[in-house]
Amino acid sequence: MSRHDFVDCVRRCRPAVVPSLLMCDFANLEDELRRLEAADVRLLHLDVMDGHFVPNLTYGLPIVEAIDRTTSLPLDVHLMISNPAKYVQRFVEAGADQVTVHIEADDPIEQVLQQIRAAGAAAGLALNPPTPLAKIEPLLPLCDTVLVMSVMPGFGGQAFNPVALQKLKTLNEQRDAEGPLLEVDGGINDETIGPAVESGADLLVVGSAIFRHHDYGEQVARLSRLARQHHVAQR
């Protein structure tokens, strides 16, 4: 999927509940993907952690490649790594339709965003809860998506930090119709999904609120319904 196709796909289905595979059962990965497909999700969020940028290790290129071979769903690959410039091209080749990097990473992020787009993928830029919006504002023209972290990255199951809501509101007020998509990640559940959508979130990354339940379809449907209710209310 091209960068433009990815963005168009998200614009058509927003607000979208996006399962984060961090908490799925990797011993039964194909079955997990089939259950998510049956739940009618529109894309998947993959968290890549290096044990350096964040204090945890997850998975890398082979898992992204395996997921891409197994499903036709678009892949939103979130690189929580120190030197993303070294790996962007390889993750796009592995199947990433969007690659998101952190403003807090070591590499020159303007160049990395350009590198992502040159590779044909949508470019996402993430910022952690303590990072002010002023730090990313000069880079917004290079962003297809801005990922506002509502937890410190590294581990699933954390509580939602409401500092993300003000950032989403500000970004939403500043963007025009062609502005970047807004994504939020961390602590999204039945209680927090409404305020996130009201604040402008288009993509809602959900982990434990889906994977800790037996019926993924029921959970995705409930969260999607809540998101649409709040999305309609703000229009």
pLDDT number for residue 235? 44
The residues with which 146 forms a beta bridge, in sequence order, are 125, 182
Report the chain (235 residues): mean pLDDT per 10 consecutive residues.
92 95 94 97 95 86 96 97 95 98 94 97 97 96 97 77 95 91 95 96 95 95 94 57
Look up tokens 């080749």; give the residue. Answer: 93
The answer to whether the beta carbons of residues 142 and 119 sit under 8 Å apart is: no
3-state secondary structure of 127: strand
Q: Domain 3-234 is in which class?
A: alpha beta
Q: What does the alpha-carbon distance between residue 201 and residue 193 come to, in Å, rounded to a whole number? A: 9
Please identify which residue in the block is written with the tokens 């011993």: 27
Q: Is residue 113 a contact partner of residue 143, using CB atoms and an 8 Å limit?
A: yes
Structural Rg of the chain based on CA atoms: 16
Q: In whole angstroms, give the CA distance from residue 122 to residue 127.
A: 17
Terminal CA-CA length for the chain:
30
In the chain, where the domains are located: 3-234
Name the residue among 136, 148, 145 with its Cα closest to residue 117: 145
Q: Which residues are catalytic?
A: 47, 185
